[in-house]
Amino acid sequence: MSLSNQEIAFLLDNAAQKAKAVAQVSAKQSISIKDAYAIQKTSIEQRYTRGEKLVGLKLGFTSKAKMEQMGVHDMIWGRLTNSMQYKNGDDLSLKKFIHPRAEPEIAFLIKKDITKPITLKTAPSVLIGIAAAIEIIDSRYEKFKFSLEDVIADNCSSTGFVLGQWYDPSTDIADISMELCVNDEVIHSGSSAAILGNPMQSLVDAVRLSLQYGEPLKRGMVVLAGAATPAIYLKKGDKVEARVKTLGKVGLKVVK
C-alpha cells in the first residue's frame, strides 16, 4: 500500500527528530517532483509547530561535483530553520544525526523582501552580505541513497549550517578557491565557478524559485548557494573547516 504525502512527510520528520534512517520512499512508490515539494513543505511545517522558524533557503546540486557524487541531475531547493544554525566554532554532536556530512558553501544575507526576479547584475543590491559557510547534510534515507524526488521530500538532506563573517555584497566571488579541510588537511578543493558558473547565479535562481513556490525571500533570510565540492562524512574529533578565498574560514568541532 502506498503512503500519502502527509504520511511520508511525517515519516521523514520523525526520522530527522529521532536520527533514525528510513527506507527510500521511491523504492516502493513513485512520487512526482510536485509531490516531493509538497511533502517537504508539510514535513517542515511540523517543525514550525514545534516552534522552529524559517530563516532561509538552500540550493542543492548546483555543481557537477555534487551531482556526480550523489547521482542526480537537477537543481533542488530546501528550507533552513533557526534550529539548524550553529555558531562559528561550535561543537557539533554526532548524536543528533544519522550519517552527517559537511560541505563548503557560500551564503548570502538578504537585505529586503524580494518581490521580483533579480539578475546577476542586480543581485548584490538585494544583499547585506556574503559569507563562507558549511552546510551539514544528513539524509534521512538509509545509506544516504535517494532519487531526486526522495531528496526533495527530505528537505534536500539539510540539517545544519554555520556562517562565517559577512563581507560586502560587492565582493567578487565568481571564481574563488573553496577548500574543505579536516584537522587542517585539505580534503576537497574547488572553485566557486563550479557553482552554476558563478555562485551569484544561485541567488538569482533562489529568488526565482522562492517566487515560483510562493515563499518569497525576506529581509534577514540566508541563502546557501550549494556546494562546489563533494561532501565528506564527519567523525568524532574532526575539526571541519571551509576556507574560502577572500571570505575567510568557518568551522565546527565534531564531538560525540
Instruction: Please report whether residue 205 would count as binding Mg ion according to CB under 5 A.
Output: no
CB 170 within 8 A of CB 148: no
Give me the helix-helix angle, 33-49 and 5-18, nearest 10°.
50
Among 157, 159, 202, 210, indicate the residue that binds ligand OOG (CB under 6 A).
157
CB of 123 or CB of 227, closer to ligand OOG: 227
Only one of the segments 62-70, 79-87, 89-97, 200-208 lies at the binding site for ligand OOG (rule: CB under 6 A); that segment is: 62-70
Closest CA to 160 of 139, 138, 130, 187: 138
By CB under 6 A, is residue 137 in contact with ligand OOG?
A: yes
Q: Answer yes or no: are the C-beta atoms of 38 and 12 closer than 8 Å.
A: no
The residue sitting closest to ligand OOG, measured at its beta carbon, is: 60
135 binds Mg ion (CB under 5 A): yes
How far is the C-alpha of 29 from the C-alpha of 151, rounded, in Å?
14
Residue 145 burial class via C-beta count within 10 angstroms: exposed 0-12, middle 13-18, buried 19 and up: middle
By CB under 6 A, is residue 149 in contact with ligand OOG?
no
Q: Which long-range contacts (CB under 8 A, 24 or more apart) does 114-119 make?
A: 114/207, 114/210, 114/211, 114/216, 114/217, 114/218, 115/211, 115/216, 116/211, 117/204, 117/207, 117/208, 117/211, 118/203, 118/204, 118/207, 119/204
How many residues touch Mg ion under the rule CB under 5 A: the total is 2
Give min distance, CB of 49 to Mg ion, in A: 26
Contacted entry of ligand OOG, Mg ion, none for residue 139, CB cut-off 5 to 8 Å set by kind: ligand OOG
Q: Is 147 in the site for ligand OOG (CB under 6 A)?
A: no
All three cell numbers of 64, joined, read: 557537477
The pattern of x and - marking residues 182 through 221 that bind ligand OOG according to CB under 6 A reads ----------------------------------------
Q: How far is the CB of 112 from ligand OOG (least distance, A)?
A: 25
Smallest gap from residue 131 Cβ to ligand OOG (A)? 15
Using CB under 6 A as the binding rule, whether residue 150 contacts ligand OOG is answered as no
Give the nearest distance from C-beta 240 to ligand OOG in angstroms: 15
Q: What is the Cβ-side half-sphere exposure of residue 140, based on CA atoms within 13 angstroms?
A: 26
Q: Which residues bind ligand OOG (CB under 6 A)?
A: 58, 60-62, 66, 70, 103, 135, 137, 139, 151, 156-157, 226-227
Q: Which residues bind Mg ion (CB under 5 A)?
A: 135, 227
